[in-house]
Each structure stands twice: as C-alpha cells, then as structure tokens.
Amino acid sequence: MKRQTEFLVEKRDGRREWLRFTKLACSIDLALHQAGDEEGWRALAIAQCVLIGLRVRHGVGGPLRTSDLSSAVQQALLAVGFGRAAQAYSTAAAKQYRRREILESDRFGMRLRGPRWVAGLGLPEERIR
C-alpha cells in the first residue's frame, strides 16, 4: 500500500517521515498477536479506523507526533475490546524507546547501560558490554 501523504509524522528524535499504513497495520497485528488474537484482518480494520480518526481529529495541520499516533492506536484497541493488545502495544513502544536510548548512548560513548536498561530488550551481548 502507498504511504499516507496527508500525514507527516514527527518522530521522537526529530526526524519526519510519511505515515505508512502497512507499518502501522503490522505493529497493530503484533500487539493483537501478543494478546492471543490470530485474525490478521482485524489489524487492517483497526489501522483503517485509526487513520479515519486521525483525519477527523488532526485535520491537515502540521506534522503528527508519534505519541499522538500511539495514543490513537491504543484508544482504538480499547474501543474494540482489546485491552491486552493496547497494553502490549504500549509495552512494545516503551521497549523500542529504551532500545534506541541505549544504542544512542552507546554511539556517543555514554554509559547508561545496566541491568535495568538491558533486561528483555533483545540486544546482542557484545553491544551491552
């Protein structure tokens, strides 16, 4: 599918990208899968609902923030009765944020790594030490 040219997303690190429907649907599908739902079509339907909601709420203004998009996905998952999937979605987002923070700190030579940062992030052992 094509990217959604009406939504420019401002990432947490300041970059701007066009919203990709397939990327959004895949992340929703992963959250649904972690919550025990195996129906792939639901992720597509929820992603479409999120885009419709964003069009109504956000309009044609400036770039959409990643946190607004994440909040819209969590609200949509809760609205259709997938509370565990909403929790899995937010947990995955937090884990990804911590992973990026660790890799960025490693790039600048800072020592933010420790057991509480690395636990369950799936980083290679050589990157941790």
Domain range summary for the chain, segments of one domain joined by +: 3-128
Query: Percent of the chain having pLDDT more than 90?
Result: 8
Query: In the prediction, which pLDDT does 64 show?
Result: 84
What average pLDDT does the segment 62-72 reach? 84
Tell me how far apart the alpha carbons of residues 83 and 35 are, in angstroms, rounded to a whole number.
Answer: 9
Over the stretch 109-124, which tens digit does the pLDDT of each residue have?
555 444 444 445 555 5
Please tell me the pTM assigned to this model. 0.68
DSSP-based three-state secondary structure for 104: helix
* Orientation angle between helical segments 21-34 and 40-58, nearest 10 degrees: 130
Report which of 44, 49, 91, 50 is spatially closest to residue 68, judged by C-alpha positions. Answer: 50
Alpha-carbon distance of 59 to 52, in angstroms, equals: 10
